[in-house]
Structure 1
C-alpha cells in the first residue's frame, strides 16, 4: 500500500524541511570510518559502490596471498578481493576478525571493485573539501593513498584523513606477495 503522505509534487518536495536541509549542506558527502589502529579516515561517497556487513564465513581466504588480503567475497554475483585496509596502508595493527560480521566498503573505479575491510563505520557526513590540509606525520608507505586531512583536535593532533580510492585501486600492492 502506498502512503499518501509520501506522494508530493516537486514544489512540495522543495519546500519540505528534509530537502532544504540537504540543499543547505556544505561540502561533499563522505563516508567516515575507523581502521583497527583507531585512526579515522574518510572516502568520497561518489567512489563507493556500497557498504556491507560481511559475515566472516562468506569471505573465502586465499592461500599464499599478501597478509593484508583477507580473501574474496561474492558481491551480487561478482567476486571481489577484500583487504584489511589498515594493513594495506602499512599499519601493523590487524583487523579483529573474531566477530560475526566485518564492515566492508566496496570501492569502484571504472570496472575495478575492491572491498576494504575496516574496524568501524562512523557514517556519512558532509565535509568541506576546501578545508583539506596537507598531510603531515604519516608513514611513508601510507602517503601515496592520502589526498589530505582535516584537523579534528589541534591539542591532541587528531585528524581525519581523506583517502584516494583511485590510488588504492591502482596500487601495485595488489600484485605483490609479502
Structure 2
C-alpha cells in the first residue's frame, strides 16, 4: 500500500478484510477526536472508523482525494470479537510474498511514531516497504480492548501524533 509519496507499507493478508472506496462525504466526523481519525462510515450496516494512516504514522498528511481508497483491517480479540478499522491509503498494490528472513529493523531516522507502528522494513522490487504492526495500531487506538495501556495513555499517544 502506498501511504504517502515516500512510504509504502505491507501487512499480512490475514488482517485484511476488504478494500473500501469512499468519498469524503461518506465519513461522519466525530468532534473532539484526534484528526487522524477522520470519523465513521457505514459499511453494510456496521459502523467503521476511518483512520488517515499517513497522519497516524506521524507524517504530514496529503489532502484527501475525491475518491478515497482504504483497506479495512481486522483483528480477533479474545472475549470481544472482531475489531475493524479502515485505513486510508494513496494507492493499493498487488499481494506479494515476502521472505521474513529479509526483514530489517526500522532505522532511528524514521519518525518515532512510525518506528512504533512498523515492525520492520523489507526491500522488494526496488522499493522499501514498512511492515505495519496491525496489533499495535489497534492497541494505540483502543487499549482497553486490545490491552497494554489505559485510556489515559492512549489519549497521550494520540496527542503525540502530528496534526499538521
Q: TM-score range by the shorter chain?
A: 0.7 to 0.9
- Consecutive unaligned residues in structure 1, runs of 5 or more: 1-32
1:125 and 2:85 aligned: no
- Aligned 8 A contact 1:96 1:119 in 2: no
Q: State the SS of the aligned residue for 2:93.
A: strand
The size of the alignment, in residue pairs, is 141
1:104 and 2:70 aligned: yes
The aligned counterpart of 1:162 is: 131
Q: Closer, same or farther in 2 for the Cα pair 1:67/1:173, shift >3 Å?
A: farther
- Consecutive unaligned residues in structure 2, runs of 5 or more: 77-81, 144-153, 160-164
Report Cα offsets for 1:43-91 as digits up to 9, x if no partner.
Answer: 1100111111112221112222211111111122210110100100111
Runs of 4+ in 1 over 4 A off after TM superposition: 172-175
Could you tell which deviates more after superposition, 145-154 or 36-45?
Answer: 145-154
Q: State the SS of the aligned residue for 2:104.
A: coil
Q: State the SS of the aligned residue for 1:121.
A: coil
Q: TM-score, length-normalised on structure 1?
A: 0.71
The aligned counterpart of 1:22 is: none
Q: TM-score, length-normalised on structure 2?
A: 0.77
RMSD: 2.2
Q: Distance in 2 between matches of 1:172 and 1:60?
A: 18
Q: Distance in 2 between matches of 1:79 and 1:172?
A: 16
1:148 and 2:120 aligned: yes
Q: State the SS of the aligned residue for 2:113.
A: coil
- Aligned 8 A contact 2:17 2:74 in 1: yes
The aligned counterpart of 1:87 is: 55
The aligned counterpart of 1:52 is: 20
- Aligned 8 A contact 2:20 2:86 in 1: no
Q: Distance in 2 between matches of 1:63 and 1:35?
A: 25
